[in-house]
Amino acid sequence: MPNAAYETIRFDVADGVATITLNRPDSLNALNAEMRRELLAALKSAARDDAVRAVVITGEGRGFCSGADLRGGSEERDFRRVVSDEYNPLIRAIRNLPKPIIAAVNGVAAGAGVSLALACDLVYAADDARLLQAFVRIGLVPDSGSTRTLVRALGRHRAAQLIFTGEPLAAAAAHAAGLVNEVVPGAALATEAHAAAARLAAGPTRAIGYAKRLINHAEDALLAESLAMEADLQELAGRTEDHQEGVAAFSEKRDPRFLGR
C-alpha cells in the first residue's frame, strides 16, 4: 500500500529505517478498524522491502496509543472476532518481522497500545510516558499478548496488581522493571529512537532477524529445542555476505560495512 493511501498512519522510509506513526492524535491514536488494517499493511510492506532494515513505531501528538477506539460502534464489541482477526495478527506481524522494531512511546500507552509497544523488540519511552492496563476500567481483560508479556517480565503478583487495578506504570518504573530499554526527555525521543534504529539498520540484518527468532523461541522453548534452533540459524547466518564481511573486517582491523545480505 503506497504511503499516500494511508489515512490513519504515516509510513516513511529513510536511511534504512521505516517510521510508522499512528496518526489519529485527536483520539490519542486510538486503534480503530482502519488503523489496524493500515498498520498491518505497513508492517507487511516493511517486511517485503529490502531497503527497510529497522522499524520505529510511534504516535503523533501527545500520546502513543490509547488502545481500542471505544467509539467504534457495535463491531468493536464483537470481541472474539476483532481480537482474533485484527489485533492478534498485528502482534504476530511485529514479533515475526525479520527486522528489529523499536517502539518510541510518547505520552500514554493504554490497553492494546501497551500490547503494541511491548510486542516490539526494544522500547524507548519519553520521561513522561505511562503504561496503563486500562482494560479493567471498562470491565474487560488484557488482550493482544499483554498478559503473557507482563507476567514474564514482572512476575505474577506485580502483573496482577497492574491488571486488576489499572494503575499507570511510569516510564522510570517500567525501565526499572525491564519493560523499557531507555527513558529519554520527550523532546529527544524521536531523535534517540531513530538513531538507535539507524544503528540497527547498519548492522547484519539477517543475523539480527535470526537472533530475533531465537529470542521469540527462547521464551517458551525447552533447552534442547533452543540448542537445536540455534544450530540451524547459526548455519544460515554463516552463509550470509554480512558474515563474510564481518570476518574480513575483523582480520583487517576495520569497521564492518554490513549490507543486510
Q: In the predicted model, is pLDDT for residue 186 greater than 60?
A: yes
**Whether residue 53 sits in one domain with residue 157:** yes
pLDDT digit string, tens, across residues 19-41:
999 999 999 999 999 999 999 99
Chain segment 85-112, per-residue pLDDT in tens: 899 999 999 999 999 999 999 999 999 9
Q: What confidence tens digit (pLDDT) does each residue in 56-70 have? A: 999 999 999 999 887
Has residue 1 got a pLDDT over 80?
no
Task: Answer with the one of 162, 181, 201 that is the final residue of a domain.
Answer: 201
CATH number for the domain including 225? 1.10.12.10
pLDDT digits (tens, 9 = 90+) for 102-139: 999 999 999 999 999 999 999 999 999 999 998 888 88
Could you tell me the CATH number of the domain that includes residue 156?
3.90.226.10
pTM comes to 0.89
- Judged by DSSP in three states, 64 sits in strand
Average pLDDT, the chain: 92
Q: Indicate whether 176 and 243 sit together in one domain.
A: no
| Structural domains of the chain, count | 2
Residue in this structure with the C-alpha cell 506513526, named with its chain if needed: 21
Residues 70 and 136 in one domain: yes
141-180: b (≥16 Cβ within 10 Å) or e: ebbbbbbbbbeeebeeeebeebbeeeebbbbeebbebebb
> What is the domain extent for residue 183?
3-201
Q: Per-residue pLDDT averaged across 76-86, rounded? A: 83
Tell whether 71 and 175 lie within a shared domain: yes
Range 42-53 average pLDDT: 96
- Specify whether 229 is located in the same domain as 171: no
- DSSP three-state, residue 80: helix
Q: How far apart are CA 107 and CA 28, in angstroms?
A: 9
59 and 123 housed in the same domain: yes
